[in-house]
Amino acid sequence: MLPAIVTAGGIPQAGEPLYPLSQGRAKALLPIAGKPMIRWVLEALQEAEQISRVIVVGALLPEEMRTSKVQATIPNQGDMLSNILAGMQKVLELEPKAHHVVLVSSDIPAITGKIVDWLVQTTMQTDEDVYYTVIERRVMEAKYPQSRRSYTRLKDIEVCGGDMNVVRATLAAENQEMWKKIIAARKNVFKQAALIGFDTLILLLLRQITLDKAVRTVAARMKISGRAILCPYAELGMDIDKPHQFEIVEADLLRRLEEMKTA
């Protein structure tokens, strides 16, 4: 079993796509299919047999929204790195022998306990520093054909990133500089090039590198070990950043609720 950290610090600002829906409220608390978005995520973690405890960082939850596995809530620390570090610190306070932690975004409400258990069981077959989940394009488009996600085309596959990953529990505290670079590079192609190396970037652009080789090359540059987890569940890649994605996921969740009523 692994502990989980749910990151829930985002607040859409005026001019951003989700602001008309959130109106200045925390994204994690945005109602969807009758529940706050984060509640769906917490219920999936509660259902999962492979999750020992949950730490929520970035949003202070009302008591009625907490599940029995939620053992701490931490206010927003100001940025993503600080939130991750605060969550990691709390995990190690509560579970000093924790070896890995599941990092879960609060904006993937379609996940289930079954999906969480699959990820933990799959990653713990080896002992890497970082496990990065990816979903193949055909899997995403079979489940969510109108999602309009961005994909990376590699030599052997076309994928998008997932929003639930597994990292070594001590990695954030021991490698703060690495985390700063990763977070800073998320939306800047030049910073990404500096981080992964221009040679690797060229291979990516030319589609001459495989998924496994790409992950291992980047991990080696950052002096960590890493493994790509090819996930068969599109729900892990269906984060809600735009109104049309909100509508797609809400329709999916409402279908799920209707199926549960008729089962």
Predicted local confidence at residue 57, as pLDDT: 96
Q: Which residues pair with 57 in a beta bridge?
A: 7, 74
Q: Copy the structure tokens of residue 256.
A: 């799920």
Which of 71-80, 120-129, 247-256 bottoms out in mean pLDDT, i.e. has the lowest? 71-80
Give the total number of structural domains in the chain.
Answer: 1
Kindly state the average pLDDT of the residues 68-90. 90
Backbone angles phi, psi at 37, to 5 degrees: -50, -45
Higher-pLDDT residue of 183 and 37 is: 37
Higher-pLDDT residue of 99 and 184 is: 99
pLDDT category, 101, cuts 50, 70, 90?
very high
Which of 28-32, 82-86, 170-174, 185-189 bottoms out in mean pLDDT, i.e. has the lowest? 185-189
Q: Dihedral of the CA atoms 107, 112, 114, 115 (nearest 10)?
A: -20
Backbone angles phi, psi at 36, to 5 degrees: -60, 145
Higher-pLDDT residue of 119 and 200 is: 119
CA atoms of 36 and 40, how far apart (whole Å): 7
Predicted local confidence at residue 179, as pLDDT: 66
Kindly state the average pLDDT of the residues 220-225. 81
Report the run of H or E that residue 186 belongs to, with start and end. none
Kindly state the average pLDDT of the residues 39-44. 97
Backbone angles phi, psi at 134, to 5 degrees: -135, 155
Backbone angles phi, psi at 160, to 5 degrees: -125, 165
Q: Is the pLDDT of residue 185 over 70?
A: no
Task: Work out the angle at residue 101's Cα, subtended by the Cα atoms of residues 47 and 165, and round it to the nearest 5 degrees.
Answer: 80
Higher-pLDDT residue of 20 and 176 is: 20
CA atoms of 98 and 166, how far apart (whole Å): 12
Q: Following DSSP, what letter does each residue of 55-72 receive, concatenated?
A: EEESSPPPGGG--TTEEE
Kindly state the average pLDDT of the residues 81-85. 85
CATH value at residue 118:
3.90.550.10
The share of the chain scoring above pLDDT 90, in percent, equals 57
Give the domain range for residue 253.
2-262
Q: Is the pLDDT of residue 54 over 80?
A: yes
Predicted local confidence at residue 189, as pLDDT: 46
The share of the chain scoring above pLDDT 70, in percent, equals 86
pLDDT tens, position by position, 142-171:
999 999 888 888 888 898 889 999 999 988
Backbone CA torsion sign across 155, 236, 53, 88? positive
Q: What is the bridge-based pairing of β-strands 158-161 and 100-105?
A: unpaired
Predicted local confidence at residue 24, as pLDDT: 86
Q: Which residues pair with 158 in a beta bridge?
A: 153
Predicted local confidence at residue 111, as pLDDT: 98
Going from the C-alpha of 1 to that of each of 45, 50, 88, 185, 197, the distances in angstroms are 12, 4, 16, 31, 35
CA atoms of 263 and 261, how far apart (whole Å): 6
CA atoms of 125 and 102, how far apart (whole Å): 15
Q: Copy the structure tokens of residue 242.
A: 């735009």
Q: Give whichever of 19-28, 31-40, 154-163 has the largest mean pLDDT.
A: 31-40
CA atoms of 108 and 86, how far apart (whole Å): 21
Q: Is the pLDDT of residue 97 over 90?
A: yes
Helices (H) and strands (E) in the chain, counts: 11, 11
Mean pLDDT score of the chain: 87
